[in-house]
Amino acid sequence: MPLTNSCNRRRFVGASLATAASYSRILGANDRVRIGAIGTGSRGQTLLGALNQLGSNDIVAVCDVYKPHLVTTKAAHAPDAEEYGDHRAVLDRKDVDAVVIATPDHWHVRILTDAVQAGKDAYCEKPVTHTLEEGEPVIAAVRDSKRIVQIGLQQRSWEHFAQARDEISNGRLGQVTFIRTYWYQNHLSAARPRNFDLSKLDWQRFLGSASDRPFDADQYANWRWYWDFGSGAMTDLFVHWVDVAHWIMGVDMPSRATANGFTAVLAQRQTPDTMSAALSYPGHAMVEFDCALLGYIEGGGLMIRGTKAAMRLWRGGFSVYQEFPRYSEDPQPSEPIMEVKSSAEGTVTHMKNFLDCLASRNAPNAPIEVGVSAARAGHVANLAMRGNGVWNRG
């Protein structure tokens, strides 16, 4: 399938392969990036672990609405960092060069906008937006600021994803017309929310733009599955795969979305635990997403179907299977004609790309526009699912 984006693999991966030593030379031997962490729950701590692994930076500030998160984060990743409960106090520090944002989704645009307007570069977790309407204003804010912003779509910095894209671009699969994406997780086995010390939680700040309500442990611990704070699997999971599809196709604006979903087993949650969506990109491909939160079998990934071959692509690698010469009642493919395994961790290489771009001032692998378009695909699927089943581009 021809690509409309002329950028090649080197643009997306090359910077992430630079060594820590070369990064230090760019900055100067004694210069280190000083980073503030805003949102220090489980994902935030994973990002800080990547920063520690890469070096060339100091985590000087940690900010969270729940004080025990700060204690855990300092002990594991940033023993000398100052603690804050309000992100604006971190941004007021003149010695903070960049921030890492890993808050609930409904805070992303507010904090990211405040950060770039304060002159800070930023790494912001996906989805960058919580609503469709937030997309254009946050793009404008980032562009006006001329700051480096990387969105947490780490497949863009994962070498085997770039290699898979190259194979498709070079015609390995023939014409691609259908991309099935899927993600199956088991949320039944998850532990119930623990007892939180409410004396150490700023519940009102957590709520932010959401309507006032009494504290609810499940809404706090599992905020992704409540509409006021997240948008369910479409923006938590699907955005990763639809971003890969956008990257492969070279287009990122669906013309139509259909979707359906319901709550089958997690009755206390607001967003569906069982769902299916299909987004149409005329002239390119149909991108489908299936998700159920009741079991892990098959995991998550993409099946990319072309006229010559098909590719199964996931975070552990990819396999290419030759198309059958004729129909068979035994459709199991034989050995793959190409197989690539990956032992890399995309979060580390993605964070490395961010650090490299802070020094070079080059565009990162997942800039704000990429983040907004991936989130938009999740939002329109949700609009279809929550409406009459269909969304059409106006």
Assess if CATH 3.30.360.10 describes domain 157-209+216-343+375-392. Answer: yes
Q: Give the predicted TM-score (pTM) of the model.
A: 0.91
Q: Could you tell me the sign of the dihedral formed by the alpha carbons of 231, 125, 245, 183, in that order?
A: negative
Nearest one of 181, 157, 156, 159 to 311, comparing CA atoms = 181
296-337 confidence digits (pLDDT tens)? 999 999 999 999 999 999 999 999 999 988 888 887 878 999
Angstrom CA distances, 26 to 6, 11, 100, stand at: 28, 19, 21
CA distance 91 to 84: 11
How many helices, marked H, and strands, marked E, lie in the chain? 14, 15
Residue 59 buriedness (CB in 10 A; 0-12 / 13-18 / 19+): buried
> What value does the mean pLDDT take over residues 336-353?
96
Residues in a beta bridge with 389:
none
CA distance 122 to 109: 12
The CATH code of domain 9-156+348-367 reads 3.40.50.720
Q: Which two tokens stand for residue 217?
A: 């442990």
How is the chain split into domains, by residue range? 9-156+348-367, 157-209+216-343+375-392
> What value does the mean pLDDT take over residues 265-274?
94
Q: Please give the distance of CA 32 from its chain centroid, rounded to a whole number.
A: 26
63-100 confidence digits (pLDDT tens)? 999 999 999 999 999 999 999 999 999 999 999 999 99
